[in-house]
Structure 1
Amino acid sequence: MTSRFALGQRLGLTRAQTDLLLRLRTPERIQDFITSLSINHELNGDSCLSVVGVLEHRHAHCIEGAFVAACALWLQGEPPLLMDFHAEGDDDHVVTLFKRGDCWGAISKSNHVWLRWRDPVYRTLRELAISYIHEYVNESKKTLRAYSRPFDLRRVAPERWVTNPEPCWDVAEELDGIRHYRLISKAQARRLRDRDDFEQHLGRQVEFISPRKRSARAAARS
């Protein structure tokens, strides 16, 4: 435990921040914490918060949550690995990878029912990535096309993603630029079936409503 506190100090975390993350002893606990954070609606423009930024603001979107999850895993003695997804006509998504035995799982921050946690039952990274293909959508279209090799955050200076007071865009761009592997062929992409009306209805449900939408709803009722 002393060495884990020392690692937190080397990463630039305070004792309180280190203690909080050390209490997240399993991927399941880390996921629960990431899920409990409000979604970052980016009301002041696009953001890419560091670990400390997320802990201070108590909100996150996918890559911000992935930074926190990776840092928590690292403090538990596991490698801090990210995976990036490339989509066609849609936003990228980032998850944190972990292994149990020979199988991969993923910790994920999402405001929708889609693109969330994956149990560690996938024998390969491709298996894990393709498990997201049905739910990775933009309205009715399935958009997932490629996944990255694991991105090891131990190779990135902690001041760039753990304690950075500025947006961590350079780390996001580095992740975006590493090797990605195509999941399906162009012919397979053309044959993907659109989501039906019920799926689209469910896809519009969110866990955390934007304050702007909440205010608009309140005004409409008054």
Structure 2
Amino acid sequence: MANIPNGVVTGDLADIILIGQAAGHGGSGLPVTGISVKGSAFTDDSGDADDPTLVQNVFADAAGTGSSDGAADGYHSATDTYEVAAADISVSKTSTILWDPINGTTNPKAIPGAIVEYCIAVANASGGANATGVAISDTIPANLTYYGSLATGPATVPAVIGVVTEGTVTGATCNADGSGTGAQAGGVVSGNLGTVASGDTETLIFRVTVD
């Protein structure tokens, strides 16, 4: 994803101005305008008397779109406008208690042995660019242990395919419906969500047990 200057947001407009200058070549490279001009600008001789010993300069350029670019001044400019389209990413992390050894799945509590599911949701606001190469890394909080196999456990706990899995969000519900998987090592879970399209939300889901 291309770098966006500070303070610039999706929908902002910026102009690019191209300027052509009639000037004598003063060195290597093309002549430039402004400070350190490599070629001296020609003078418009249209108001001078005819001099048969000189090649006189008569400019016929129209006024350009750039600042201070008037007619017949030996300069001409053209302006183009581009609209900024940047990714607008927000990240949220939620947890849901799925089961505990006393209450099962009926109003379970975060007591020792309980199974908790975490959902990290990455949302890309509508109207901007796609966010590419989105990766997530998250450290499992203290007093929790990674739940080694998300597809196993008490029969009443909904299964999740994979170890760390992708998904989407419907309303406030995390869905484990993605095809990608992540990994866990040393108490850190990680996953690559790839591209999060404009207006979409992708998730990384994993489970832990309460110590």
User: Same fold by TM-score, threshold 0.5 exceeded?
Assistant: no
* Higher RCO (C-alpha 8 Å, min separation 6): 1
Higher fraction of strand? 2
Higher fraction of helix? 1
TM-score by length of structure 2 reads 0.20
Q: Which has the larger radius of gyration?
A: 2
